[in-house]
Structures are given as structure tokens and as C-alpha cells.
Amino acid sequence: MPPLAGASSGKFADHHSFPMTGTAPLLLRAARGEQVERPPVWMMRQAGRYMKVYRDLRDRHPGFRERSENPDLSYEISMQPFHAFKPDGVILFSDILTPLPGMGIDFDIVESQGPLIQDPIRSMAQVEALRPLQPAESMPFVGEVLTRLRQSVGNEAAVLGFVGAPWTLAAYVVEGKSSKNYAVIKAMAFQEPQLLHKLLDHFAESIATYLRYQIDSGAQVVQMFDSWAGQLSPIDYDTFAAPYQKKVVDLVKQTHPDTPFILYISGSAGVLERMARTGVDIVSLDWTVDMAEGLARLPEHVGVQGNVDPGLLFGTPEAIRARIDDTVRKARGRKHILNLGHGILPGTPEENGAAFFEAGKSVMDRLGALA
């Protein structure tokens, strides 16, 4: 295996200076499995369309790639929920497709349509023409934003980085856009598996390089989204998703063994045990599996994130509190990060987002101290 570009000793690059005094952020301590006073809380897609301040910025800067690739805008958007709600985690505002141009795959994100790949990958020649990812050269804005976030929040919150997993990236670049049935990539999987495996392997190495870069730039916890792996049968998950998830995890852990690693799959109830076997530290549950049942299916050493239904945030503050209490009660005694089971939905009342964070931070007042 060729060495990964950007491989490091697992320590921050010398030119970064981060506040290191005092207690580590709550989310980082919890993700490491330390005893904590309460489960930390953040929300997937916490910076986004449900917030008026974001919609106002989007009106001034309508292009998604501008918002995510201009470091000043990405930093500002990443900090919007921190200023509003003080979550325990601040996540980079970006997209799972952001590294693609650095590999030679152009894309755009069209409002109301989603991602569009200009030249979908359909041949071995296209795969062989892909470049190894050099994130410091092709995406310096990501490193800049993560460094600024880390310096800004100090120990008040953990800084999270994230990537898309190889199968999900492949699904986008082969289909050319979002899909309802994934017929194009499944046809490739079953007709030309060698082609697909070569593409997945390229993505695994590049994504590992990208995560190492994010950690060296300031990310303290990282999450991998395999959004579309839930569309695979278990046998095909074992063939086309899990081995490449595991390869990313293994490569990152070689140089950054102490950085907690979260894996999220939408519609993952059928593959929870398989997710745990990839070597991740934390499995992020969606809301289609009961928290207690999900934990019973996962090894004791594997933590859990989630898993409140984002639709609940259209309900009342009382309903939000009751569901958070139920979720945390069922997860007691295990490594747990409170989150939604998917991203917060556009149109969610902003005050209900605030209610979610308030209820999460005060949950132990209602349930009593952790045993």
C-alpha cells in the first residue's frame, strides 16, 4: 500500500497553537469513555436552514460551494449554532463531496436538487485517472476553518470533523446525483465488481488522508457518514461498504489512535453489529431502532450516539424533554453522546432547537446523577 499523503505522527502540526489548559471538552471526554457529569449534546446539521441567521447569509451568498469553501463563510456558519445554543460540539460546515475536486471529480450542489456530478464515473479509465488526495493543497480552507474553530471554542466545545464513507461517495459519483433506488451503482457492483472495488479503495485511502489532515488541523472527534449504506443488503454491506469503512478507520488509527471515531448510517438497524466490527469507537443510531435494543446489540466497548427523531422537534418542548429523558435513561451506563437520529430538518422552529439543547443539558437534573 502506498504511503498516505499528509501522514503524521498524530500530533498537531507545529504551526498550530490551541488552548490546552483546563479540563478537556465534555464531548471529547465522553467520546473517550471517561466518566462525565452528563451526556454531551450536539445535532447533526445544526448549522443550516432552520436558523434565520443562516438563511440570511445564504441569501447574500447563494452558492453552496462558496459558503462551504470560503473559509470566512464556513467559519461563520460553523459558529452560528455555538453562538445561539452553546452545543457541546462544533462541527465543520462543509459537505461530504468537498474532497472530490481534489481527486479530479467536479461537482455542484443545486438548491432543491442536491449534488450533481458533471462527469459520472462509469469506466476503469476514469477510476485510474483519479488523483490521490492532497488536502492541504486542494482544500486548505478546511484546515483553516478547523484551526480557527479550535482556537475560538477552546474547551467549551469539542471540534468535530467529518467525511463521507467510500460507498456513499461512490454512490454519488457513479449515479451522478442523488438516487432513490441506486440502480446504476448496484448494476456496477453486480456486473463490474472489480471496477467498483478499485473506486472504493481509492476513496478509502483518500478519505483517510483527509481525516488525518482534519485532525492535524484541530478536529478532536471525527465522524464518517455512510448515508447510503443502509440501502445495501447485509451481504452486500459486507462486500462493498464495511471493508472500506474499516480501511479508513484502520489507516486513521495508525497515526491518530486517540481520536474518537463515529460512524453514522441512515437506516442502519439491520447492520448495527456489522458497524461495530469496523473498529469505530461510537456507532450513531438513527431513530428507527430503540436505544436500549440498539445498545443490547452492540459490544460494551462501543459507544453510541443519538437517537432522537428529528421530527420530534416539530412537537412541544414537553415532548422533546420527555423523549430526551427516555433516550438518556436507556443509555445510562454506556458511553453516550446525545444527538438526533439524523440531521435537523429544514423548517424546524428555531425555539425547538433551543429546547432540545436546553433539555439535553438539564437531563441529569431530571434523571438524577449518573450512576
Write the pLDDT tens digit of every residue in 33-83. Answer: 999 999 999 999 999 999 999 999 999 999 999 999 999 999 999 999 999
Q: State the Cα–Cα distance between residues 337 and 40, nearest whole angstrom.
A: 5
Q: Is 95 a catalytic residue?
A: yes
Of 58, 148, 321, 323, which residue is the catalytic one? 58
Please check the confidence at residue 18 and state whether its pLDDT lies above 70: no
Please check the confidence at residue 108 and state whether its pLDDT lies above 80: yes
367's grid cell: 434523571
pTM of the full predicted structure?
0.94
pLDDT digits 0-9 by tens, 172-185: 999 999 888 999 99
Q: What is the pLDDT of residue 22?
A: 65
Do 167 and 200 meet the contact criterion of CB atoms below 8 Å apart? yes
Q: For residues 8 and 83, which has the higher predicted lDDT (pLDDT)?
A: 83
Q: What is the pLDDT of residue 368?
A: 83
Q: What is the pLDDT of residue 369?
A: 57
Band (pLDDT 50/70/90 cuts) for residue 111 is confident
Please check the confidence at residue 15 and state whether its pLDDT lies above 50: no
Q: What is the pLDDT of residue 160?
A: 98
Q: State the Cα–Cα distance between residues 244 and 236, nearest whole angstrom.
A: 12
Could you tell me the end-to-end alpha-carbon distance of the chain, in angstroms, rounded to an integer? Answer: 46
Q: State the Cα–Cα distance between residues 48 and 176, nearest whole angstrom.
A: 24
pLDDT digits 0-9 by tens, 204-216: 999 999 999 999 9
Q: Is 58 a catalytic residue?
A: yes
Cα–Cα separations (whole angstroms), residue 345 to 161, 312, 331, 341, 349: 21, 10, 24, 11, 10
282 Cβ neighbours under 8 A, 6+ residues apart = 31, 260, 261, 262, 263, 302, 303, 304, 305, 335, 337
Q: Is 49 a catalytic residue?
A: yes
Of 49, 122, 329, 334, which residue is the catalytic one? 49
Q: Is 326 a catalytic residue?
A: no
Length of the chain measured in residues? 371
Q: State the Cα–Cα distance between residues 168 and 175, nearest whole angstrom.
A: 11
Of 88, 95, 216, 281, which residue is the catalytic one? 95
Q: State the Cα–Cα distance between residues 295 and 250, nearest whole angstrom.
A: 23
Instruction: Please provide the average confidence, as pLDDT, over all residues in the chain.
Output: 93
Cα–Cα separations (whole angstroms), residue 364 to 34, 222, 367, 369: 17, 26, 5, 6
Q: What is the pLDDT of residue 174?
A: 97
Of 172, 213, 237, 264, which residue is the catalytic one? 172
Strand, coil or helix: what is 332?
coil
Please check the confidence at residue 295 and state whether its pLDDT lies above 50: yes
Query: Exposed, middle or buried by CB within 10 Å (0-12, 13-18, 19+), for 183?
Result: exposed
What string of DSSP letters covers 111-168? TTTEEEESS---SHHHHHTPPPP-HHHH-HHHHHHHHHHHHHHTTSSEEEEEEE-HHH
Q: Omega of the bond prior to 307 within 30 degrees of 0, cis?
A: yes
Which of 284, 136, 275 is CA-nearest to residue 215? 136
**Domains in the chain, ordered, with CATH?**
26-366 (3.20.20.210)
Task: Output 234-237 pairs: Cβ under 8 A, ≥24 positions apart.
Answer: 234/270, 234/271, 234/274, 236/189, 237/271, 237/274
Average the pLDDT over 320-340 and give the result.
97
Do 34 and 20 meet the contact criterion of CB atoms below 8 Å apart? no
CB atoms near residue 103 (< 10 Å): 19
Q: What is the pLDDT of residue 180?
A: 87
Please check the confidence at residue 2 and state whether its pLDDT lies above 50: no
Please check the confidence at residue 11 and state whether its pLDDT lies above 50: no
Please check the confidence at residue 114 and state whether its pLDDT lies above 90: no
Q: What is the pLDDT of residue 210?
A: 98
